[in-house]
Chain A
Amino acid sequence: MDANEAQSRMQEIQRIMERATLFTLLPGAPAVIGGLMVLAGCGVSYAMFRSLDFADILHLSVNGQIAFCVMWFLIGLIGVLLEVLFTTRAAARQQLVPADRPMRVAAFSLTPSVVVAMVLTVKFLLPVDSMVGDTIGRFHFNIGREPKAEEIQYIVPVWMMLYGTGVYTAGLFSIRPPRILGLVFLGMGVVALLCFPQYGLVFAALSFGLLHILFGFYVLHKQRQTVV
């Protein structure tokens, strides 16, 4: 065996071990808890504006709109923190370092999609138009425009599609279930955007809620079968 073949084999071994490591660290419990929090959030949202349409946030008072946004921000933040906590604990049990390449690859795969979704959410929610001013690097903000109901309706489908894209990409470095989860999110997001944008709350509950719960239970079931 020459040095090139030895090098190639070492890279192949590393790739396989990373893939297997990601499998053992797939977060099941945080997916279930996150899904339950989303369902609760959908329930509270419905109680706030008595509608399945996210655009009806426009009918809330300013304080109501702020409370609505803070609630969903906290749900997202707690979901991420739970994921980090559970993954770190699982990694410690497996005597792995969470900041190792597999975890970084998964995090980096998901981050760009989430950042784009956040930027679009801000753009849809805030009545802000920006354009490059006369001076390079300075921006002029036109606060006068009103937020549009149809743009707010895009928030849930956009999150579903971009989250699905991120999960699918992260799944490329792991096993099949995360890739399938990503594709289902993507497909549901397309349907929500093109056919039912006015039912954002239903799609949020079905995807980020129910789908996460089902995925979490599936992962927990598989890991119970796998771990001695």
Chain B
Amino acid sequence: MNGPVKPDDIDAVIHERVRLSMVAALAVSPQLGFNELKSMLGLTDGNLSAHARTLEEAGYIVVDKSFRGRRPYTAMRLTAKGRRAFEHYLATLRQIVDRAERAPDGSS
């Protein structure tokens, strides 16, 4: 990624802060339970569900629903597509920062 950063390079699905946090957490964990993720990111049930749905529709995460004994258990994991999108997003961020550091007046 050597050219200028175009608006299309910013992935709108991941760019949203909550979804970015979810993807970042899932990037270093094989799988996280709904409650673990909720606790880790300080989210409400509704907020996490809504963002999980968006990520699932984009094909970035898989949501597994099962039962642990009698209790429902929801777990999420990052897909290969989601990991690629996250890595691309990180590369875009690095490019923006690098360019600003190289600019003589410090502007981006």
Contacts and interface: CB of A to CB of B under 8 A. Distances in A.
A146 interface: no
B33 A226 contact: yes
Contact of A3 (B20, B68, B99): B99
A6 B15 CA distance: 11
A149 B14 CA distance: 62
B25 interface: yes
Given A2-B108, A16-B25, A228 B36 contact: no
Contact of B32 (A9, A20, A94): A20
A225 B73 contact: yes
Contact of A12 (B20, B39, B92): B20
B73 A16 contact: no
B29 interface: yes
B28 A17 contact: yes
Given A1-B96, A20-B25, A20-B29, A228 B108 contact: no
A123 interface: no
A148 to B, nearest CB: 45
Contacts of A21: 28
Nearest to A19: B40
B30 A20 contact: no
Contacts of A3: 96-97, 99-101, 108
A81 interface: no
Contacts of B39: 175-176
Contact of A19 (B25, B92, B96): B25
Interface of B: 5, 10, 17, 20-21, 24-33, 36, 39-41, 68, 73, 75, 77, 90, 92-94, 96-97, 99-101, 108
